[in-house]
Chain A
Amino acid sequence: MTRLPVNLMIGAVLVGLVVATAALSLVWTPYDHTLLNIRDKFAPASPVHWLGTDQLGRDVFSQLMAAARNSVAVALTAVFIGGSIGVSLGLLASAIGGLVEDIVMRLADISFAFPALLFAIMLAAVFGPSLTVAVVAIAFINIPVFARVARASANQIWTREYVFAARAAGMGRFAITRDHVLPNIAAPVIVQATIEFAIAILAEAALSYLGLGAQPPAPSWGRMLSEAQTLMYLAPQLAIYPGLCIVVAVLGFSLLGDGLRDVTDPRLVRER
């Protein structure tokens, strides 16, 4: 048993912390994160309010916990939707090849012209800003990423001898894709999903900060920051905590992704 990479372990701990917090917030937070208590506004950190309260007297720690849940849920949904569509398209392109492959890959190239922000801006202009807009925009940018990863990995599998054997035995393209290709591209897809998770958390925070994502009173680290920005002279501490949470979550998932890649694809481990 070789030693696990350091980045994998640190990443796993940070991700564990974020996911556990998100899960715990489903059943318990110190206070209701929407509970207003104007008399207690801008309370400093104390045993009563661990990280103090905001301009409406809401408990900051409870809000951060609830926002973790929002972040993880958005990232999970968006990466799952984008990943499923992307992997399906990549597998389809690889299985059929020819014109279909060309079209899918060209479309993937073209969709890189739309960063999540531009896509979210269009959707928000048409439908009005909402968390759904953020999820759809983040899912959309994930499609080409996963399509490329799935196609590149699948193309390698299609040249393996066991696939030739399966074809010789009369198995169809879709049966081979399901039974042989899909299980064998799982590792790179999972690695990519972990990294995309980090990007999705960052994107959700940015979209909510800009007002295109979570709407009040839905808890979100990004939205907490945009509220805190207007109070910087009064309560600068409110602008610190949500940002730290974003950094911990993003750092966790990106380290975990890097670590998983190092473990699953040792060829990629360069001299560090």
Chain B
Amino acid sequence: MGYFLLRRTISFIVTLFVVSAVVFAVMNILPGDPALTILGLDATDDALAALREELALNDPVITRYGQWVWGALRGDFGVSHSFRVPVSELVVERLPLTISLAISGMVVTVILALVLGIGAAAHHRKAGDWGVMFLSQLGIAVPAFWLSILLVLLFAVKLRWLPPGGFPGWSEPLGAIRALILPTVALALVQAAVLARVTRSSALEVMRLDYIRTARAMGFSRQRVLWRHVLPNALIPIVTIVGLQFAALVTGTIVIENVFYLPGLGRLIFQSIANRDLPSVQALVMLFAAIVVTANFIVDLLYLAIDPRLKARS
């Protein structure tokens, strides 16, 4: 087990470094002259020289990469070119919204998927099962941003129950929660469609096993067997997908924040693109990629906790 943990941790750190190198290379080597990319073709020579000085572009690439990584490790992502404040400040301001959205999306996803997936497995080959399968097939094909638009059309434009977008800030807790309902649902429904399928097929496989029949024969109720015996043993594929989905959810927030005009990291990335603010884009892409890599790492650690066989083997 210790060996597995060590190997996985080393590979996690190496992955982060390679990812940072790719991000740095795309943002700094591909454009040729980042100063020209930021200021545009009609920039004066003086302005270009000043910006090159500011971004330390005259240093060798390796030095710049080293400084960037060293800074990032200490939470210093450089200064945003458009906002004129440290990128870390911008991130800290907007992170709570993005994290709230991702976590509430994940919670709703898991609850919906477990209830629907286990329910479908329990009603295998009956109307309920077909219904869930149909919905999940459809859910996989529906883009989250279109689902968002449909939700806004129904709940904001037609019924006027919820706001169509925007965010009043955390100082208005009720308004903040109301503003997050539609984005959360839009984010969760699509992911729940995928997870419900996995839950269903994983549960069906476990339900075929002998000890489930034994448990039923011993007189335990259907519900008890489903939630106490089937679900825990069906969890491994579910956890794998949840881990991958958390990554998808976090990048999904980029889309959803732009649909609902929520001032989170996803919106910040697009403002930075529009402003040609390369330092901010670089930092934010790295941040999102790091979240994805970390989510995968945590999934691997969860395996150890869930699957005693893996513990025994390693």
Contact = CB atoms under 8 A, between A and B. Distances in A.
A59 B146 CA distance: 21
B100 interface: no
Chain A residues touching B, majority SS: helix
Contacts of B248: 115
Given A232-B164, A251-B138, A271-B204, A124 B259 contact: no
A121 B269 contact: yes
Interface stretch (A35-43, A50-58, A61-69, A205-213): A205-213
Nearest to A255: B137
B278 A113 contact: no
A270 interface: yes
Given A121-B285, A247-B141, A115 B146 contact: no
Given A206-B145, A210-B258, A270-B201, A236 B153 contact: yes
Contacts of A109: 15
Q: Which of B18, B144, B273, B281 has the most CB of A within 10 A?
A: B273
Given A113-B293, A125-B272, A126-B30, A254 B140 contact: yes
Contacts of A118: 251, 285, 288-289
Contacts of A122: 23, 26-27, 281-282, 285
Interface residues of A, number: 43
Nearest to B277: A125
A110 B141 contact: no
Contacts of B144: 206
B223 to A, nearest CB: 23
Interface string B270-286: 10110010100110010
A243 interface: yes
Nearest to A248: B141
A243 B153 CA distance: 13
A129 B272 CA distance: 13
28 contacts: A110-B19, A110-B22, A113-B19, A115-B248, A117-B255, A118-B288, A121-B273, A122-B23, A126-B27, A126-B30, A127-B30, A202-B141, A202-B143, A206-B144, A206-B255, A209-B255, A210-B145, A222-B145, A225-B149, A239-B149, A240-B150, A243-B142, A243-B146, A243-B149, A246-B141, A250-B140, A250-B141, A254-B141
Given A117-B255, A229-B152, A250-B141, 17 more contacts: A110-B19, A113-B293, A114-B292, A115-B247, A122-B23, A122-B281, A122-B285, A123-B26, A125-B273, A206-B143, A209-B143, A225-B146, A229-B149, A233-B157, A247-B141, A250-B140, A254-B137
Interface of A: 109-110, 112-115, 117-118, 121-127, 129, 198, 202, 205-206, 209-212, 222, 225, 228-229, 232-233, 236, 239-240, 242-243, 246-247, 250-251, 254-255, 270-271
